[in-house]
Amino acid sequence: MQRQRIYEGKRRRNPLENIIEVANLKIWDSRTGNVMIQNSSFAVKKGSCLAIVGESGSGKSLTCRAIMRLNKAGLRQSGDILLDGMNLSELSEKEMRKKRGKQLCMILQNGMRAFDPSCVIGVHLKETLACHFGWSRDEITARMKMAMESVLLKDPIAVMNQYPHQLSGGMLQRVMIALAIVLEPDIVIADEPTTALDTISQFEVVEQFIRLREKMGGSMIFVSHDLGVVQKIADDVLVMKEGDIVERGTTRAIFTEPQHEYTQYLVSTKLALHHHFEIVMGGVSVAEH
């Protein structure tokens, strides 16, 4: 019934209202039968940022990787995932690869995993952009240089000639944000992009995500356990617990009038933990001025 309601709703409203619609998503381990996501349905409005929050093991990252169809071998999924009306669940792996990057861009928690450690950063960037656009090396370099400068990376050419291990976590995240700026995807999925960073780098990267949204005017799914960051960047929030969506609503509603006891717990405890982050953010702001 739920899937039927989603499709009927889609026919009634402007088809461009939602960029992503997830209907009856179920994820399970084919070897053990363990169900990790029971039955999730949600939508991301075009041009908006949806945050998915919850503690470790709640199913946030599994949900994002399911949209990208990048979960580990052995995990199975069912349900429908519509990107601007196209059902990604029905695409072949070859067709899906064409969607990743250009239409669906994922920024990972650990920037090191996004790049081949045996190649300099520029090789990955050039291969990705040549695959999607067929641009020349010079054009790719010029576009990436401009985008990298816009996220405050100094000497972009030198950065592109370095190996991933030679860059800090914050720099790698900025490189991925710069790549997203050039790709101009329909939606950016950021999976805990600040978790592996120190507090000052977290502040700087969050600022770049906010600027990314402003530049693209695009949609975003932002996964985080840091509710202070969520409050700063998201329009709407999904709260997940043990594979279930327990609450959803606007960011304002979730933070001012949480209904579910788990959401109340998260808001009261996680925002308290964010206090130190806010102090450091104020320190950075003062230092810059």
Tokens 């009306």 locate to 85
Q: Which of 236, 89, 100, 235 is nearest to 179 (CA)?
A: 100
Three-state SS for 37? strand
pLDDT of residue 74: 92
Q: Largest alpha-carbon pair distance within the chain?
A: 56
Q: What is the pLDDT of residues 169-195, one digit of tens each?
A: 889 988 999 999 899 899 999 998 887
Beta strands in 173-259 (DSSP E): 187-191, 219-223, 236-241, 244-250
Contact (Cβ atoms closer than 8 angstroms) between residue 220 and residue 191: no
Q: What is the 3-state secondary structure (H, E, C) of 125-178?
A: HHHHHHHHHCCCHHHHHHHHHHHHHHCCCCCHHHHHCCCHHHCCHHHHHHHHHH
Q: What is the pLDDT of residues 73-117, one digit of tens each?
A: 899 999 999 999 999 999 999 999 989 988 999 998 777 778 889
CA dihedral 167, 115, 128, 126 (to 10 degrees): 40
pLDDT of residue 46: 92
**Residue 268: CB partners within 8 Å, gap ≥ 6?**
none
Q: What is the pLDDT of residues 239-280, one digit of tens each?
A: 999 999 999 999 999 999 999 999 999 998 876 665 655 665
The burial class, CB within 10 Å (0-12 / 13-18 / 19+), for 48 is middle
Structural domains of the chain, with CATH: 2-288 (3.40.50.300)
